[in-house]
Structure 1
């Protein structure tokens, strides 16, 4: 007979035995839709599946024996979510770096071409957009072509 135990270490309810929806093991499990606490953070495993994988688990309101996840799979789910966060943070850092480098490249490109008496205005990807002769004197002309130009 399934024993619906009270909170284990004040972390949330446990079902023993339960069928893990992830690995199909029959052992002590946690409920997918219940709220648990881990390292001071609240976690709901069904929400973690949605956030990490975009999976909406079915029949979570059905029989409680079929709505569980074992401790081994909880650890794997946490690792997957942490890995996803890491990848997203690295991607954001890379995009920020690329955007700042594009600004620096455009600035260097303008400076180099000004020194040659020609100014190549480039789009964000660095592709030439147009070429303009820059007179030695004439701040108004330089100011007008220093404005960003998109193709």
Structure 2
């Protein structure tokens, strides 16, 4: 569903759709910056360029480059120094949403939660199985 919104970059009103998060004017500017960055990286001597060097040469922001890598427009396999921040801790990664360290933390937390749930379930069952005998006078 399309809706009229303000462009997050320039503030101009535009009709947002599923393909663009910015107005057509900003989208064209972003595409020109992408082409400049991509053409720079295609040269063999620039394939291992740092993020800072790409930003300096192309004029694109770090966030734009992160977005292009995340969307697959710039392949991290072809350009080894490129990546984007982990959604949880901010470390630079080249695939997925979270780094391996955060993934391990999340999995360990889930396992701990499951063990605690199982312990509570067993304790609850044990309390229900307790038999009380008649009290003798």
Higher relative contact order (CA 8 A, sep 6+): 1
Report which of the two structures shows the higher radius of gyration computed on alpha carbons: 1
For normalisation by structure 1, the TM-score amounts to: 0.36
Higher strand share: 1
Higher helix share: 2
For normalisation by structure 2, the TM-score amounts to: 0.39
